[in-house]
């Protein structure tokens, strides 16, 4: 999640549009006769001279058309997608944050990949799961990122902690206490009251076998108690309550912390940190790697009135998601590729990606398992519970019981 955000405004817009037939997107992004196909993505940081923009343009050229690319902020893109579908001028191809796919599917905006002739069999099942509804894929992941624990080798050496010894919560807690006794700081992460806070909490929640449909289970309480105890015992700083993933990284980059929970997108910064570092999977409560949430975007094909456009659109999508282009794109974005073939190529070029490939293999989509558009509601209550417990306002049990009731009331 290169700061991946749920487009909550888009969800609200979808609700507002739910009763409008035109939400299915009855128009076309451009005239088929013009030879121009429209493409929207959430990468405003890449201008027309970037490798990404050149790749998009080249895929259009190979398909015999011109691609007109427009970049929006992640949240803005979701809102504009819903409005464009209502007005009948959805783009031909759209790259969207993976949790937004289910919202757009519910609104009737997206085609199934199988219906437009784009195969998905090579994609890792857990990665494509974020864009799958009722067994049908509504997009192709351009790549994936997820979370793991960066560690500072100098801090761990000073505390006589072997990172390979950290296998579960007990061994992690023991390591944090050793670090604190050695006069250093333990772990930093983001617990901010936004999707970033939920995103960072999910590996611990899922690692305790928590269930997002039952937030107040004893398993979920165990995960929240873990975080609360870290803050209460001085193993994590109080400012995790306001830390974004960026400010949390900046904290880790001071060189004072043993561990920092963050993602693949920080690899470039890690190499500039000025101290030796390593990466381990976030441990599950009883051992093994905890499932972390997948971040990243999906290439989707919005519904068009002129169905004759789909053949060319499919060619553009297939070009963007071909193995050679995935390798180039995911290297640029610091993503892990969605296919095992390209993942192997990535690791052979950069061995530091090996733990990230393992983390992605264990990851799961936030909207998977039928959660779909219910996830944003659940996530909001989850981050509120985290905030309530870590601030000392509520016990983990009380905070999660309040969250679960709020989710149930929303459904009613």
pLDDT at 308: 94
Position with higher pLDDT, 81 vs 251:
251
Surface-to-core class of residue 134, CB atoms within 10 Å of its CB (0-12 exposed, 13-18 middle, 19+ buried): exposed
Place of tokens 């309550």: 241
Residues 132, 189 share a domain = no
- Whether 268 and 406 map to the same domain: the answer is yes
Cβ proximity of 337 and 359 under 8 Å: no
Same domain, yes or no: 133 and 159 = no
Residue 282 lies in a domain: yes
Q: How confident is the model at residue 17 (pLDDT cuts 50, 70, 90)?
A: very low
Number of domains in the chain: 2
Q: What is the mean pLDDT of the chain?
A: 89
CB 140 within 8 A of CB 120: yes
Work out the pLDDT band at 367, boundaries 50, 70, 90: confident
Q: How far apart are CA 201 and CA 192, in angstroms?
A: 10
Contact 142/95 with Cβ under 8 angstroms? yes
**Are residue 268 and residue 388 in the same domain, yes or no?**
yes
Kindly state the percentage of the chain with pLDDT values over 90. Answer: 74
- Greatest extent of the chain over all pairs of C-alpha atoms, in Å: 71
Contact 225, 285 (CB under 8 A): no
Answer whether 96's CB lies under 8 Å from 139's CB. Answer: yes
Whether 382 and 331 map to the same domain: the answer is no
pTM of the full structure: 0.82
End residue of a domain, out of 362, 379, 394: 362
What tokens does 54 get?
A: 């050149």
Residue 14 has pLDDT above 70, yes or no: no
Considering the domain architecture, whether residues 160 and 271 belong to the same structural domain is answered as yes
> How confident is the model over 121-174, as pLDDT tens digits?
999 999 999 899 889 999 999 999 999 999 999 999 999 999 999 999 999 999
The per-residue pLDDT for 1 is 59
Residues 203 and 251 in one domain: yes
Minimal CA–CA distance to 316: which of 85, 49, 36, 123?
A: 36
Q: What is the predicted pLDDT for the residue at 85?
A: 82
347 and 402 within one domain: no
265 assigned to some structural domain: yes
| C-beta pairs of 162-167 under 8 Å, 24+ apart in sequence | 163/278, 163/280, 166/280, 166/283, 167/283, 167/287, 167/288
Cα separation, 358 vs 154, in Å, equals: 25
What is the token pair recorded at 260?
């920092």
Task: Give the model confidence (pLDDT) of 186-207 as tens digits.
Answer: 999 999 999 899 999 999 999 9
Are the C-beta atoms of residues 301 and 113 closer than 8 Å to each other?
yes
> Based on the number of CB atoms within 10 Å of its own CB, is 73 exposed (0-12), middle (13-18) or buried (19 or more)?
middle
Structure confidence at residue 280 as a pLDDT band (50, 70, 90): very high
- What's the whole-number mean pLDDT along residues 239-263? 96
Q: Residue for token digits 């398909």?
A: 63
Q: What is the mean pLDDT of residues 208-213?
A: 97
* Inside any domain, residue 174: yes
SS3 of residue 71 by DSSP: strand
Report the CATH number that the domain containing residue 16 is assigned in CATH: 3.40.190.10
Q: How far is CA 251 from CA 48, 157, 236, 321, in A?
A: 34, 19, 11, 36
287 & 309 share domain:
no
Query: Could you tell me the residue range of the domain that residue 185 belongs to?
Result: 147-292+371-411
Cβ-based neighbour number of residue 122 at 10 Å: 15
Kindly state the tokens that stand for 23. 């939400």
Rounded Cα distance between 83 and 87, Å, is 6
- Same-domain pairing of 137 and 169: no
For residue 137, tell me if it sits in a domain.
Answer: yes
Residues 319 and 380 reside in one and the same domain: no
Q: Is residue 189 part of a domain?
A: yes
As a whole number of angstroms, the distance between CA 195 and CA 180 comes to: 29
The reply to whether 1 falls in a domain is no
Within a domain: 381 = yes
| Confidence at residue 3, expressed as pLDDT on a 0 to 100 scale | 44
78 and 29 together in one domain: yes
- Looking at 328, 343, 362, which one is the last position of a domain? 362
Mean local confidence (pLDDT), 363-388: 91
Q: How far is residue 81's CA from residue 79's CA, in Å, rounded to a whole number? A: 5
> How is residue 159 written in tokens?
């505390």
């Amino acid at each position: 999640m290169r700061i991946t955000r749920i487009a909550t405004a888009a969800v609200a817009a979808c609700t507002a549009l739910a009763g409008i037939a035109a939400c299915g997107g009855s128009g076309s992004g451009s005239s088929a006769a013009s030879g121009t196909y429209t493409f929207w993505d959430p990468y405003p940081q890449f201008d027309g001279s970037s490798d990404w923009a050149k790749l998009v343009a080249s895929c259009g050229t190979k398909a015999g058309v011109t691609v007109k690319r427009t970049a929006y902020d992640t949240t803005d893109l979701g809102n504009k997608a819903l409005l464009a579908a209502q007005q009948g001028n959805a783009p031909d191809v759209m790259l969207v944050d993976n949790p937004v796919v289910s919202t757009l599917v519910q609104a009737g905006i997206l085609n199934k990949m199988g219906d437009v002739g784009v195969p998905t069999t090579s994609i890792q099942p857990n990665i494509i799961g974020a864009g799958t509804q009722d067994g049908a894929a509504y997009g192709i992941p351009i790549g994936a990122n997820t979370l793991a624990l960066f560690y500072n080798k100098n801090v761990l050496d000073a505390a006589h902690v072997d990172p390979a010894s950290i296998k579960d919560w007990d061994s992690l807690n023991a390591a944090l206490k050793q670090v604190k006794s050695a006069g250093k700081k333990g772990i930093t992460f983001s617990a901010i009251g936004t999707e970033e806070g939920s995103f960072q909490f999910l590996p611990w929640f899922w690692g305790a076998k928590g269930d997002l449909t039952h937030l107040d289970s004893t398993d979920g309480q165990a995960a929240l108690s873990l975080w609360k105890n870290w803050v209460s015992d001085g193993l994590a700083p109080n400012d995790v309550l306001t830390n974004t993933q960026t400010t949390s990284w900046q904290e880790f980059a001071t060189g004072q912390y043993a561990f920092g929970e963050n993602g693949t997108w920080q690899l470039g910064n890690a190499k500039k940190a000025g101290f030796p570092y390593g990466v381990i999977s976030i441990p599950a409560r009883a051992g093994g790697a905890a499932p972390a949430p997948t971040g990243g975007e999906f290439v989707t094909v919005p519904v068009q009135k002129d169905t004759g456009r789909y053949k060319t659109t499919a060619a553009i999508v297939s070009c963007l998601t071909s193995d050679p282009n995935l390798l180039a794109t995911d290297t640029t974005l610091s993503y892990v590729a969605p296919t095992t073939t390209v993942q192997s190529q990535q690791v052979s070029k950069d061995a530091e990606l090996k733990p990230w490939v393992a983390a992605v293999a264990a990851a799961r989509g936030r909207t998977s398992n039928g959660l779909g558009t219910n996830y944003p509601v659940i996530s909001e209550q989850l981050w509120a519970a985290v905030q309530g417990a870590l601030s000392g306002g509520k016990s983990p049990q009380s905070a999660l019981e309040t969250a679960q009731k709020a989710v149930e009331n929303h459904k009613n």
